[in-house]
Structure formats: structure tokens, C-alpha cells
Amino acid sequence: MKHYRNYVNGKWVESPRTFEDISPVDGSQVAIVHEASRELVDEAVKAGHQALAGEWGRTNASQRVAVLRRIADEMERRQDDFLAAEMADTGKPHAMASTIDVPRGIANFRMFADILATAPLDSHRLDLPDGAYALNYAARKPLGVVGVISPWNLPLLLMTWKVAPALACGNAVVVKPSEDTPGSATLLAEVMEAAGVPPGVFNLVHGFGPDSAGEFISRHPDISAITFTGESRTGTTIMRAAAEGVKPVSFELGGKNAAIIFADCDFKKMLDTMMRALFLNSGQVCLCSERVYVERPLYERFCEALVARIKAMKIDWPNDPATQMGPLISAKHRDKVLGYFELARHEGATFLAGGRVPYFGDVRDEGAWVEPTVITGLGDDARSVREEIFGPICHVSPFDTEQEVIARANDTRYGLAATIWTSNLGRAHRVSEAMRVGISWVNTWFLRDLRTPFGGAGLSGIGREGGLHSLNFYSELTNVCIRIDEEARDV
């Protein structure tokens, strides 16, 4: 049986308290995970500060660029190991993990290395009335020790999305992966060691949230900043803890994202993409569309075509290259999603597809599987339409006018993403800019330029990451102002 240990100050640390890492495919045990104590988290934070006071704190940008590239090279060398770990923990299909999760994890280090190597800083000259002038320039410095709390849905991708820029800016990190997905985080610690990252720069602690590693990081007085991706409710708890020390936070939280489909769209391209927007990673992507609004002339055709596509989906073993959808992350999360299926029935929804647990007749029946599900017939005030479910389910409803659908799509406490489908260029600009979200896609979905700002509004988060936006969050900027007097003249 594998053991996933903590990695603190360059050493692998076991714990007397352990928990099981369970496969969502068949309920079998993947590994034994060592839960970090409060004392071990404290040791990790101290190790980070020691690294900043030592060798790591003396590195310049060029040296850190080289470190990030070594990390990416070592990850690439071990990409098969990362692929196996991601699939074992999440049950996601090979087709997804091999083309999205692992490549993006590697790309995050290379991309932030490139951005750091070319990152500009402010420089201004201010002419003064007496003939002198002042030269102002910005100096980028690390925040200190950053707490990184990452989610289970895209474990490697979203963890490296935070770790890479934090290290690029010269910080040390204390990373807590989800208790459901400890595998790839442990592999990343091995990569850090192999790539020659100094002890204390990257620290990994396993555990849970309340009264465990997550809370110990959030409340630690010597953590300099916290970055978190996960549920909005958990983000609220972390924010309260961070407020005690007035620490900067960056949160990417939940979503109840809208897809707006106009009758003049490219129907085949839209349908192909919407299958991904609804069911990628079994709907467990914060950017997935749970609310689908279809212009009335296209509504019936869309529903029929969507149901036909769902019936043809291959829901099977993750290792099968043809598998299109795997299980949910855990039995606990499956029960939550099934609870929303029952709520939708109680609210009067019509189920066009799904709504049940599939039967396989083998060990997969011990896993966390549910069917891809489409519901209709609910009002915009129904809980199933307003609350994030985070599973393979969407509610489809018709609309008649542009103004109507903008108002309905924006009628939410969330504000993460939207996808708009139309061949009308003016409408595309109007509707996408009218969305109260962090990102609006037009005639596409999940297409990301990693240099652009990413984040949400409302319950979907605080702050923006990506490109220079990440560097600015993980840095303390100091303005240096120098007065330069006019040269003295001979009398």
C-alpha cells in the first residue's frame, strides 16, 4: 500500500494520524495518507521563513526562472506518474487527464517562468518646479510564506497554477491539497526535491479543513497570504481567519454559470462544445454551465439533440481511451448531487435524461457514479437553478429576447463565467460584456490564455490571477522615489 507523507523543510515526515485515499471508481483504497498536526504545519511555516532568510531569499528573477524550468522538465520526465496519480485519485478519464490536467500542470511552470523573465515594472520621471526631477521605479519583493489550499477537481492543474507564480516571485509555500486528491501533490514534492529546490521553499502538508491542516494554515499568524480554490462557504471561513492578520487573499470559488444559446449559432459546433461545458470531469469544473438558456426557436431542437448525445456517451472505466465521463470524486459528493436530483424532482422538474445511479454489475457499483442529467421546467427561483450542484446536471429553459436573457443570466449571487453562442458580432459583444462574470466566452468554452486575468465576482471569488495579475498578487511592490537635483552651476 502506498503511503503519502508530508514534505517539510526538505524531509519526508510521517504522522501517527492517517486516513485513507479512496478510489471513486470502485471504492478501493489507493493509499494511506499521513495527516499533518498543528505542530507540523507550524514547522512548515517556520521552514519557509528560514528559506527566505537564507539561500532562496537571495535568488534573483533569472535564477528563479531557471528553477521553474527545471521543475517543468522534471514533471515532464515523470508525466506518466502524474497521469496515474491523477486518475487514481479522481477517476477522471485518460482522455482528459492526459490532455488537460498533466500538460497544463507542466505548462504553468513554463509559462510563469517566461512571464517573470519579461515582466515589466513601473518607472516614471517627475519633473519638479525648481529644475530638479524625481525618478520613481517599482521593486518587486516576495510576500513571504504563502498558504496554498487547492481543490480536488483539477488537483495538479490548480495547485501548480498557484505554486508556480508564488515561487516565481520568490515566496515559500505551504501547500495543502484536498484530502480526496493527495497523490499528484506528493509527486510534485518529489519533483521539487529532484529539481534542487532548496529545503523549506516548498512544503506539503496533508489533511482536512476544520481542526486540521486547512484551518492551521488559515489561522497561522506567520502565513503571509492565502490563495484558495474551492467552495464559496469554505472561502468565507478562510477569509474570516485571514482578516485577523489583514492578509491578502485570492479566492476562486463556486459558480452557477450560464450558457446563452441564440438561434443563429453554429449548431453543431455549439452542441459539440456544450457537451464539454456540461459534462467535462463529470460536471466537476467550476466553469461548467449548470444553467442553459436557449432562444425559443432553437429550444426543442437543442433538447432533443442534447439527449441523443447523452444516450451515446461512453461512461466507462477511466483507462479506456474512449471513455467520456467517469465518476464523481467521492461517495459523499455523489450523495450531495443525488440530493439535488431529488430536490429537483420535488420542485417539479422534468427529467429529459439521467437522474439516477448507473448499474454496471461489477466493482464500479461500489464507486461514486451518477448519470449525466438534463432537467427542464423549473422557474429561475428554484433552488436547483440557483444553487451550485457541481455535478453532471444542467437546467435548460427557453428565452425570447436579448434583454430578458441578460437579466436572467445575471440573476445570481455567483459571477464566474458565461458562454454565449451567436453568429451576430454586435450581439456577441453586447451580451458578453453585459455578463457580471470574470470571463465571458463567445462561441467557445474553456479556452484559456494563461496571461489573461482569471477570477470571479460575488460568491465566485476575490481577485484575479493569471499572467502579470498573478505576479502582482504574489509580490509586494515597493515604489522607490529618488530626487535628483539640478547640476550645480559655476558662479
Q: What are the residue numbers of the active site?
A: 252
Cβ pair 111, 450 in contact under 8 A? yes
CA distance 189 to 125: 45
Burial 357-382 (b: 16+ CB within 10 A, else e): beeeeeebebbbbbbbbbbbebeeeb
Amino acid identity, position 311: K
Q: What are phi and psi of 203, to 5 degrees?
A: -120, 135
**Those residues with Cβ within 8 angstroms of residue 263's Cβ, 6 or more apart along the chain or in another chain:** 295, 296, 297, 298
Residue of 231, 224, 187 whose CA lies nearest to 209: 231
Helix or strand holding residue 396 (H, E): strand 393-399
DSSP letter for 230, please: S
Count, residues in the chain: 491
Strands 225-229 and 249-252: parallel
C-alpha cell at 459: 460568491
Cβ pair 237, 211 in contact under 8 A? no
**Those residues with Cβ within 8 angstroms of residue 294's Cβ, 6 or more apart along the chain or in another chain:** 261, 302, 303, 396, 397, 398, 399
Q: How many CA atoms lie within 13 A of 440 on its CB side?
A: 18
CA distance 85 to 23: 11
CA distance 94 to 5: 26
DSSP output for 14-61:
--S-EEEEE-TTTS-EEEEEEBPPHHHHHHHHHHHHHHHHTTGGG--H
Cβ pair 28, 35 in contact under 8 A? no
